A = this chain, B = another copy of it.
């Protein structure tokens, strides 16, 4: 097992009516900025709950809404200006991954010397950030309890990430009822996202980190059982709560401890969001099975065998457990009406070279389970193209 360091200082408040706990974290600040996306947090009463706590405790706040999915750096810059003008000293992100990631970028971007995107390209180092908290409304991102933020630069057509302890949320309210209004398609996208986060950590050469592998299989099992239930019936509290807690555990660091992670598929998928605006979870349900097909060789078969037996319950001495596991994954995604090929979302092969080039320019080779270069990435897009 590889050496590691680990802690989870973010305070999680999980369950119905846990929103009232935010008051203890906010009382000492001058002015809170509530960040949010579209109107759904207002429509479904979540914003009312938040504001009620703030008002009841005489906590001053401003609002910054309109953060879109696949969040854009341009909008973050607007947020940074707003924060500076209004002397905001705490950000309360009410939403899913896009709102949280945008808020993280705003929180540190306030202190950037030149421009916040410089943090994403690595030109500038993040040294501090305004503190922030989260009220989560979608089981997917994991951003509520980690140091990551992913944004799109619409000019350069890049989707890139920062990783800094300074943007780790102080607290996260995880109320499963706040995720009940998520429509079926986005519920399915969330499940795909949770599973993809797990895959990026699960598919690794390291056989020694057995704890992390078993925990990853646990998260996948919970997704496979509860995903379709929440997809069919959004009001199912048990399914919603299991998915919600899985989403946080899938990307708070726990699953990668003691091993090397991959993260090639996310980079390949990010291009599809950047170029075509496809929902993150849908890019992953397309790319991950294709990636698996491509990296499956006699050398990597052991891992897919483990995946098939421990996650999908494939039994017996079949030689094609690996192939079965990939087919079962596609079937699973398809059962929740997620796209599993690019043709399902009307994406042609026109930009395969541009997207692969983009990745190569930024990262060079990607992945660890199998190192992938420009040519490999093209091949994966081709596998993902059509049936």
Query: Which residues from chain A sit less than 8 Å from chain B, CB to CB?
Result: 1-18, 21, 176, 208-211, 214-215, 217-219, 221-222, 225-226, 237-238, 241-242, 245-246, 249, 257-258
Contact = CB atoms under 8 A, between A and B. Distances in A.
Q: Which 9 A-B pairs have the closest CB atoms?
A: A3-B15, A214-B218, A8-B8, A1-B241, A6-B12, A7-B11, A9-B9, A208-B238, A210-B242
Contacts of A8: 6-9
B241 A14 contact: no
A24 to B, nearest CB: 11
Given A14-B257, A257-B14, A218 B211 contact: yes
A18 B18 CA distance: 37
Given A225-B210, A238-B208, A245-B257, A5 B11 contact: yes
A379 to B, nearest CB: 35
Given A1-B238, A3-B15, A245 B10 contact: no
B10 A4 contact: no
A10 to B, nearest CB: 6
15 contacts: A1-B14, A1-B238, A2-B15, A3-B18, A5-B18, A5-B21, A6-B14, A7-B11, A9-B9, A210-B225, A210-B226, A211-B245, A211-B249, A214-B217, A214-B219
Residue from A4, A6, A211, A225 with most neighbouring chain B CB atoms (10 Å): A211
Nearest to A175: B3
A311 B218 CA distance: 12
Contacts of A4: 12, 14-15
Contacts of A219: 211, 214
A205 to B, nearest CB: 14
Contacts of A214: 217-219, 221-222
Contacts of A17: 3
B9 A5 contact: no
A95 to B, nearest CB: 21
A217 B217 CA distance: 11
Contact of A246 (B11, B211, B241): B211
A215 B241 CA distance: 15
A208 to B, nearest CB: 5
Contacts of A1: 14-15, 176, 237-238, 241-242, 245
A222 B210 contact: yes
Nearest to A9: B9
Contacts of A6: 8, 11-12, 14
A9 B7 contact: yes
Residue from A6, A17, A18 with most neighbouring chain B CB atoms (10 Å): A6
A30 to B, nearest CB: 25
A13 B176 CA distance: 33
B14 A3 contact: yes
Contacts of A241: 1, 208, 258
A176 B15 CA distance: 36
Contacts of A209: 242
Contact of A14 (B5, B208, B218): B5
A4 B2 CA distance: 31
A136 to B, nearest CB: 14
Residue from A14, A16, A238, A246 with most neighbouring chain B CB atoms (10 Å): A14
A7 B5 contact: no
Contacts of A10: 7
Given A4-B14, A211-B245, A214-B219, 12 more contacts: A3-B15, A4-B12, A5-B21, A6-B12, A8-B9, A14-B257, A210-B225, A210-B238, A210-B242, A211-B219, A211-B222, A214-B217
A313 to B, nearest CB: 11
